[in-house]
């Protein structure tokens, strides 16, 4: 096949095109309800899922501290701050994605990459900040209930630190599963388009 035949073959493809159009033309109004398989739609669904999960944890976690009003209010304040920061992080992502205009493929991918990278970075900061805070407040509460002396308290906290490490590692893996793998995918497409 030479170049001329290549173009001819490409153009001579109308029969199938029309069949597909006729098959789909009455479905237009129903299409918007379908679940999308696009990377960014998947990310959007993950964010919604994560939001729901955060609300469930945020509501159920303080119940554990009900027996001690001081700790209960510390946790409530911590949860409210975490919620506000979370809303800010999610909000920034939505706002930036909505502001994307009809730029070229390269610019569009570049902007989406920047937004997603920033989002993942903020999520990780969020995780590294609030998980240890929650852990130490929880540990202090448990120790206070048992009325353990200071030396034993330090030893117990030191011994449970690896557990915090595992939690942080799991959190990192969770972020990767939800967003990191998609980021790598988009990076691959972007690099493929940009390379000379």
Partner 1 sequence: MSERNSFKDLIEEYHPMIYKICRVYSTSVDFDDLYQEILISVWKSLPSFQGRSKLSTWLYRVVLNKAMTYQRDQKKYNAKVSIDHIVEMQNEASDYQEKEQQINRLYSAIGQLNKTERSIALLYLDEKTYEEIAEITGLTISNVGVKINRLKKKLFQILKLTNNG
**Minimum CB separation from partner 1 for residue 116, in Å?**
11
Cα dihedral across residues 117, 122, 125, 127: positive or negative: negative
CA distance 183 to 168: 20
Residues of this chain that bind partner 1 (CB under 8 A) = 1, 3, 5-7, 9-10, 12-14, 16-18, 20-21, 24-25, 27-29, 31-32, 34, 36-40, 42, 101-109, 185-186, 189, 192-194, 196
The residue among 105 and 129 lying less far from partner 1, judged by its C-beta, is 105
CA distances from 191 to 58, 106, 111 (A): 39, 9, 13
**Minimum CB separation from partner 1 for residue 172, in Å?**
23
Calculate the dihedral angle through the C-alpha atoms of 83, 89, 90, 96, rounding to the nearest 10 degrees: 160
The residue among 145 and 185 lying less far from partner 1, judged by its C-beta, is 185
The residue among 101 and 147 lying less far from partner 1, judged by its C-beta, is 101
């Amino acid at each position: 096949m030479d170049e001329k035949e290549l173009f001819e073959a490409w153009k001579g493809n109308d029969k199938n095109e029309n069949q597909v159009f006729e098959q789909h033309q009455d479905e237009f109004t129903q299409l918007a309800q379908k679940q999308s398989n696009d990377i960014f739609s998947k990310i959007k669904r993950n964010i919604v899922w994560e939001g729901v999960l955060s609300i469930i944890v945020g509501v159920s976690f303080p119940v554990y501290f009900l027996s001690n009003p001081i700790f209960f209010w510390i946790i409530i304040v911590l949860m409210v701050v975490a919620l506000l920061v979370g809303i800010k992080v999610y909000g920034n992502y939505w706002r930036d994605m909505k502001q994307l205009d009809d730029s070229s493929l390269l610019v569009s991918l570049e902007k989406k990459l920047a937004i997603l990278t920033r989002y993942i970075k903020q999520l990780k900061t969020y995780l590294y900040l609030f998980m240890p805070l929650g852990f130490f407040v929880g540990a202090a509460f448990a120790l206070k209930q048992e009325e353990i002396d200071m030396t034993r308290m330090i030893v117990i906290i030191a011994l449970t630190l690896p557990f915090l490490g595992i939690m942080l590692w799991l959190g990192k893996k969770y972020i990767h599963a939800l967003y990191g793998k998609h980021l790598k995918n988009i990076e691959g497409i972007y690099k493929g388009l940009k390379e000379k």
